[in-house]
Amino acid sequence: MRTAYSVETVRNAERELMARLPEGALMQRAAAGLAAACAQVLARVAGRVYGSR
Using a 10 angstrom Cβ sphere, with 0-12 exposed, 13-18 middle and 19 or more buried, the burial of residue 50 is: exposed
Q: What is the C-alpha to C-alpha distance for residues 42 and 49, in angstroms, rounded to an integer?
A: 6
Domain ranges across the chain:
24-53
Q: What is the pLDDT of residue 15?
A: 95
Concatenated DSSP letters of 2-53: -----HHHHHHHHHHHHHHSPTTHHHHHHHHHHHHHHHHHHHHHHSS-TT--
What confidence tens digit (pLDDT) does each residue in 1-53 have? Answer: 889 999 999 999 999 999 999 999 999 999 999 999 999 999 999 888 877 76
